[in-house]
Structure 1
């Protein structure tokens, strides 16, 4: 499986609480798509959300967001872990 980082841009900012709820919806949905959402980071003031996900494809990762809450990422990148 590959690892992806997706980026969401929410105009007007975003609350950490709302992102936590969306992430929980992802966790509740991810099994249907063979995806594992691992972590997320939030810049509330700038409306940026970054999600780290293990998935068979970028499309599968996006499908989880689409079904769970409709907030599909603006960009998604396949990444490799470094130290």
Structure 2
């Protein structure tokens, strides 16, 4: 399945604890969409969140975000993992 990196660009800073809660909601909502959220990173003071996701499409990634908590990504990129 393709691998995606999504980017959430919030208009204010974001707390790691809040992102952890949103990620937990994504994990609860992912199975019906055949999506697996793998990891996430947070730039708290910049209000940026990055999610690495195994999914059938970019649309499926945002479908899970929409269902789980309503914070859809501003950008979703198809990526390949390197070493």
| Structure 1 stretches of at least 4 aligned residues deviating more than 2 Å after TM superposition | none
CA RMSD of aligned residues (A): 0.4
SS in 2 for 1:71: coil
Structure 1 distance, partners of 2:79, 2:70, is 23
User: How many residues matched?
Assistant: 83
Per the normalisation by structure 1, the TM-score is: 0.99
Residue matched to 2:32: 32
Gaps of 5+ in 2: none
Structure 2 distance, partners of 1:62, 1:44, is 21
Structure 1 distance, partners of 2:14, 2:33, is 26
